[in-house]
Amino acid sequence: MSYNIKNIKNENFKELNLIPREVKIKKKRKFNIPIIPITAFIIVLVFVLGFQAFSYKKLVSNFKGYFDSSNYAEANNYLVTEGNFNLFKALFLKNDLEGYFRTKANSIKEHVNLNELTPDEALLVMNEINRYNIITNSTDKSLSVTSDNITDNTPLAKGIIAFNKNNFEEALSIFNAIPSSDKNSGTALDYVVKCKEKIKESLLTTVKEKQSIEHFTEAINLIESKLSLLDNDKELASKVDELKKLREDYNKSNPSTSSAVESSAKIVSAINTENINTLGLQSSSNYLLYVDTNSQLTHIYKGSSNNWSLFKSLKCSTGKEGSETPSGVYTIKNRDTWFFSKKFNQGGKYWVQFDGDYLFHSLPFAEDQKTIVDYTLGEPASHGCIRLSLEDSKWLYDNIPTDTKLIIK
């Protein structure tokens, strides 16, 4: 007996028998894992990490070699320039250096105690360690014990202390005074080079600032004041020539400025206390100030053009060698009762500005505003400002109007 499929109304039956069998059976999907690429990636990763680990180990070893050989500049430069993309350097360098420096400090202590290392030599190494700011005397017993065994009475020690305080010119003077017969002369010569590099670096930074505001003469004077100190450095001498050309071009494009500069130069060259009333000097107030750096006196005049009378003369202290107060014609600008310079670790009271960072101010005070750190007057001793007694600086602050003319010779 046969059935006509079309006449079958049983939908369930139809569904069961007319749908192909292979459709009803769901096949399991197979996931093909890319084993070869993953394996290759793991191999490459292991190789890269292994190579970085090897490179890092070599970096630390080479650094220690430089440092142990007292090639401190090379050690620092190597550490800064090599392996900057090394993962192990980023993760482990600080801890590894800390361990190395602690061991080094203990070794120094032992050598000092056994008289196998001089205090100067020990101080030199300790200062190099401290420059990395990884361990300090306050956190490491070996450092503090070593420090107890080291005095700062020797010239080399004093020079290193000045260098670490960024007093590079003072340090240079100390190192230069150490004779070649001294057992530490080699170290002193190394520091002489470092001092000159630091002085030059700071000088060029300041000169760049002066150049950016077109203070070409100040920049030139600043470099020329340091040339002998820096052995007539060729780069600095070339910079002077460049600045002179820039000044010449600037003056050509600014005739009024050129005329004013020439006039100011003539005034500075000619002025003295005898001819004050023959130069046609004018001031925006009834005061005129004249600073004579030779006599270290600030003369205060009252009156008007060609009718100036000396009112008082104040003993002062202008810039010492290498930091000379700039000569020129200026006007009094801003003023305030206190400033503090972190660079020089001292401040001054009753300051009166006449050109940028150049001021009249009191004797230098410590940050507590109570302790006078230097009583010098009557001879060049400042960092470029014009130093007065506390009483005289307050008088100037209280009495000399803004825009009063000032001449420094």
Q: What region does 349 belong to: left with phi over 0, alpha with psi -120 to 50, or beta? A: beta
Give yes or no: 195 in active site.
no
Which spans in 213-352 are helix H? 216-226, 234-253, 255-270
- Bridge-based pairing of strands 358-361 and 386-387 is parallel
Residue 392 near residue 353, CB atoms below 8 Å? no
Among 195, 215, 299, 361, the active-site one is: 361
C-alpha distances in angstroms, 324 versus 185, 226, 261?
30, 10, 20
What whole-number distance in Å separates Cα of residue 386 and Cα of residue 392?
A: 12
Count of residues in the chain: 409
Say which amino acid occupies 22: E
For residue 176, with 0-12 CB atoms within 10 Å meaning exposed, 13-18 middle and 19 or more buried, which class applies? Answer: middle
Residue 125 near residue 104, CB atoms below 8 Å? yes
What whole-number distance in Å separates Cα of residue 147 and Cα of residue 125?
A: 11
**18 contacts: CB under 8 Å, gap ≥ 6:** 5
Helix (DSSP H) and strand (DSSP E) numbers for the chain: 14, 9
Cα–Cα nearest to 264, from 335, 326, 336: 326
What whole-number distance in Å separates Cα of residue 254 and Cα of residue 259?
A: 9
Give yes or no: 383 in active site.
no
| Residue 350, number of CB atoms within 10 A of its CB | 23
DSSP state of 5: G
Among 215, 299, 316, 385, the active-site one is: 385
Instruction: Tell me the catalytic residues.
Output: 361, 385
